[in-house]
Amino acid sequence: MTAPSNAPAQPSPNPTTVTRLRELATATLGQSGIADPEVDADLLIGFVLGQSRGQVQASAILGTALGDADATSILALVERRARREPLQHITGRAPFRVLELNVGPGVFVPRPETEGVAQLAIDALRSMADPEPIGVDLGTGSGAIALALATEVPHARVFACENSTDAFPWTSRNFAEVAAPNARLVFADLAEAFPELDGTVSVVVSNPPYIPADAIPRDPEVRLFDPAHALYGGPDGLDVVRLVSQTGLRLLRAGGVLIIEHGELQGAEIRALLDADGWRATATHRDLTTRDRTTTALRP
């Protein structure tokens, strides 16, 4: 089948060494607009060869020979990535803090900036005097935040909900694989989840859909592959944030902490929303790129 005219350049016939294949993969991915083509090339090669990125780089320096079958497999994955399929969908795994999570079509791929959101929730849980503080992750997606809380604050009890039938199989798989004894997952809408916990929770955290309905994400990986259910939050992007605020007020005990991830231009609007709902000490925090990323508040 002839490739369309706007398709990425196709890799040439199989190189015979890791060195040549790595150079070819990096060039192909770079031509397709991948931000870090060398990193992705190394990770794809390592995925097929069962090697770490450092081992791939060492093999490239040494000019290690590469079998035809491995080269063919790697080039096929490079072609997929060049068409902007997310790297995590290709490998089926996404790193998140100390975890590696199962991901694929139907579930939102956790981002590095969300690791900072999780850190705020972890710090808040650790600061609680309760012998078993309760943390709740509303709309957990892959389970990234909830499982980070459960594994890094082992004396806490962590509850998570997800209501997407496409995402939930991935969530369940990750909960089963991590097997944190203090983590519980339910299929439920976040507006109604965990009535049995009302007024007892120490920390509520959420990475809700927050992109306005008419906004178009720049990155093809997001626009074409992330589920709309996890991206779009109504006309102003804050429909689900409003639900999180109300659910947080229901679940949290006095002095409990609410933590919400959001877009870089939404901090002021979310603080105003939370202030109007009666929250106290609202504050917006920047991520490592200095962009506003998270807003926190205290339950009165």
User: Which listed residue (11, 37, 208, 209) is catalytic?
Assistant: 208
CA–CA separation, 239 and 245 (whole Å): 10
User: Which listed residue (47, 108, 159, 168) is catalytic?
Assistant: 108
Strands 252-261 and 201-206 come out as parallel
Q: Could you confirm whether 195 is annotated as catalytic?
A: no
CA–CA separation, 238 and 241 (whole Å): 5
Long-range contacts of 276-280, Cβ-Cβ distance < 8 Å, separation of 24 or more: 277/245, 277/246, 277/249, 278/249, 279/245, 279/249
Say if CB 45 and CB 25 are below 8 A apart: yes
User: Which listed residue (37, 207, 209, 225) is catalytic?
Assistant: 207
Structure tokens at 20: 């040549």
Residue 183, beta-bridge partner list: 158
Q: Could you confirm whether 175 is annotated as catalytic?
A: no
CA–CA separation, 282 and 296 (whole Å): 6
Other C-beta atoms closer than 10 Å to the C-beta of 256 total 25
CA–CA separation, 78 and 28 (whole Å): 8
CA–CA separation, 63 and 259 (whole Å): 49
CA–CA separation, 249 and 244 (whole Å): 9
The candidate with the shortest Cα–Cα distance to 114, out of 296, 299, 294, is 294
Q: Could you confirm whether 208 is annotated as catalytic?
A: yes
Residues designated as active site? 108, 207-208
